A and B are shown apart, each in its own frame.
Chain A
Amino acid sequence: MGSSQQEQYPLDVDAVREEFPILDRKVGGDVTTPGEDENDTKPLVYLDNAATSQTPDRVIDAIADYYRSYNANVHRGIHHLSQEASVAYENAHDRVAEFVGADGREEVVFTKNATEAENLVAYAWGLNELEPGDNVVMTQMEHHASLVTWQQTAKKTGAEARYIRVDDDGRLDMDHARELIDDDTRMVSAVHVSNTLGTVNPVSELVDLAHDHGAYAFLDGAQSVPHMPVDVGELDADFYAFSGHKMCGPTGIGVLYGKEHVLEEMEPYLYGGSMIRRVSFDDSEWEDLPWKFEAGTPVIAQGVGLHAAIDYLDDLGMENVHAHESLLAEYAYDRLTEFDDVEVYGPPGDDRAGLVSFNLDGVHAHDLSSILNDHAVAVRAGDHCTQPLHDELGVAASTRASFYLYNTREEVDQLVDAIDDARQLFA
């Protein structure tokens, strides 16, 4: 830090990193036993944040505090601990609602992850409502969480799956979108920010198109909510999904936002305890929202952790988080595109989210990421759960560096140096 270019970065990264001890660990030794040992000698450069983010101490502490001092099942016991846990769990829903601009806890369902949020709507609404003649419109840059879910739901119901084209710059072809979305469209399911291309899609326009034709709009916010201010009310989406573990929270929790009147009309997705108001041998009545969709003992510790993660992100300020990542992504884009043998996918550097996918000519993405790993640079290699998009790009795999609030320009430089080592090795 300290260079003149660094001064425009809004976050004090040195201070931020103090809350993430994992970022100080070394790697490179035996991977069969978890944790750092004496054979781990290389300082970690963690650039795989689109896969999962690291967790600050205060979130870990909040989860530990739950287990140490008020662990109990929720919505059942009259006893003190159960009441504390229930209030904390319900408050977590309120906090999420506030963070993304939902009207209240009724619109916030906790799931296992964003994928389950997609599946919840596919099962609870899609399988019951879709029929032959209907269509579901997605994009070619959908994550498999949305793509496979709606593709298979369409197959089961006889509906048609359609995909909005991605142009050469990695942007959606909105003329094609206007062709595909018609009066038979029942659902438009689109990724807000592409986890592969870094494209920020014009989702308000897609939502309006869907609504003009009487369809629902479902946005996949897994790569947007952690990285930029999002207001689901302003976007007017009917459904919105994201994950806790990509936004400084724990694994095991995702969020389905749904408009209250839409969720109200949907049948439950999972049956069992907690989601019922009254049960007889003949029939059952459902609990109010959002509990109708949270069967069984829910994700209590994860909810507490997600609440703490949101408090943390709000302390930093989502505008600041976004500005920091955008500057890093632009810097990474500029550095990588200096080289003729590096192909970078997606839109230009000043118009992308905080991730960069690329290939080094003559080096398979898995070889490249293995060599980057030898430099302790953690990136993702593969298809990033967007196989059809990679087919469109004409490559089997790519390497992705993805940034978060604790990353630095120096880490981007280390990435570029490690790529150069691969270039020399394979020359």
Chain B
Amino acid sequence: MGIGGGSDMYRQQILDHYKNPRNYGELDAPTFSHTGENPSCGDTLTVDVGLADDGETIESVAFSGDGCAISQASASMLSERLPGMTLDELDAMDTDDITEMLGVDISPMRIKCAVLARQVAQDGAKLYEGDVDDLDVTKTEGDEV
């Protein structure tokens, strides 16, 4: 099917993750935590990441927030995907990786919802590693569309 489908975006897996989010909540002692939002959608996400002793392998992930099904399901699925990956591998994730993970075509206007969790995790990692130091809240509004 072509780009732009509606309920094709809401296959069972997406709805399942939305209704029963995995790893929802906070880590007791996260290595880093970061928050992001889509202002016009009202999607908000906080992603907590715990690293292994090697300082680069992701060991545990939790997220909290609210918003549309696409943004929340994407965060839930990402929280299952990330453990075992390194920060470099996280940094290398692009939009295609997210749509592949979701397993559905995301319409152009909704891409920013789908990539919010990835962007929050990536920006959190960059802040932790000191690559950026002036980022307060990640906003995916507009820049991915």
Contacts and interface: CB of A to CB of B under 8 A. Distances in A.
A83 interface: no
A367 interface: yes
Contacts of B142: none
A364 B41 contact: yes
Interface stretch (B67-75, B83-91, B117-125): B67-75
Given A31-B107, A366-B41, A425-B10, A374 B5 contact: yes
A207 B6 CA distance: 45
B15 interface: yes
B29 interface: no
B5 A366 contact: no
A397 B141 CA distance: 15
B4 A29 contact: yes
Interface of B: 1-10, 15, 18-19, 40-42, 67-70, 107-108, 110, 113
Interface in A161-184: none
Given A371-B6, A374-B8, A425-B10, 15 more contacts: A28-B6, A29-B2, A32-B2, A32-B3, A363-B69, A364-B68, A364-B69, A365-B68, A367-B69, A370-B6, A370-B10, A373-B4, A374-B5, A397-B40, A426-B19
B15 A425 contact: yes
16 contacts: A28-B4, A29-B2, A30-B2, A31-B2, A31-B108, A32-B108, A364-B42, A367-B69, A370-B7, A370-B9, A373-B4, A375-B6, A395-B42, A397-B40, A425-B7, A426-B69
A372 interface: yes
Interface in A399-427: 421, 425-426
Given A31-B107, A364-B67, A371 B10 contact: yes
Contacts of A421: 7
Contacts of B19: 426
A373 B41 CA distance: 17
Contact of B3 (A31, A383, A396): A31
Contacts of A372: 6
Contacts of A30: 2-4
A8 interface: no
Contacts of A383: 40
Nearest to A32: B3
Interface residues of A, number: 26
A32 B111 CA distance: 14
Contacts, number: 73
Interface of A: 28-32, 39, 363-367, 370-375, 382-383, 387, 395-397, 421, 425-426
A396 B18 CA distance: 18
B113 A366 contact: yes
Nearest to B68: A364
Nearest to A33: B2
Nearest to B8: A374
Nearest to A366: B68
Nearest to B19: A426
Contacts of A396: 41-42, 67
A372 B107 CA distance: 13
Given A383-B40, A396-B41, A397-B42, A367 B8 contact: no
A421 B110 CA distance: 20
Contacts of A31: 2-4, 107-108
A106 B72 CA distance: 55
Contacts of A29: 1-2, 4
Contact of B2 (A39, A363, A382): A39
A135 B107 CA distance: 44
Contacts of B15: 425-426
Nearest to A390: B42
A32 B15 CA distance: 26
3 tightest CB-CB pairs across the interface, nearest first?
A396-B42, A374-B6, A30-B2
Contacts of B108: 31-32
B65 to A, nearest CB: 12
A397 B39 CA distance: 10
Nearest to B69: A367
Contacts of A366: 41, 68, 70, 110, 113
A51 to B, nearest CB: 13
Contacts of B40: 382-383, 387, 397
Contacts of A374: 5-8
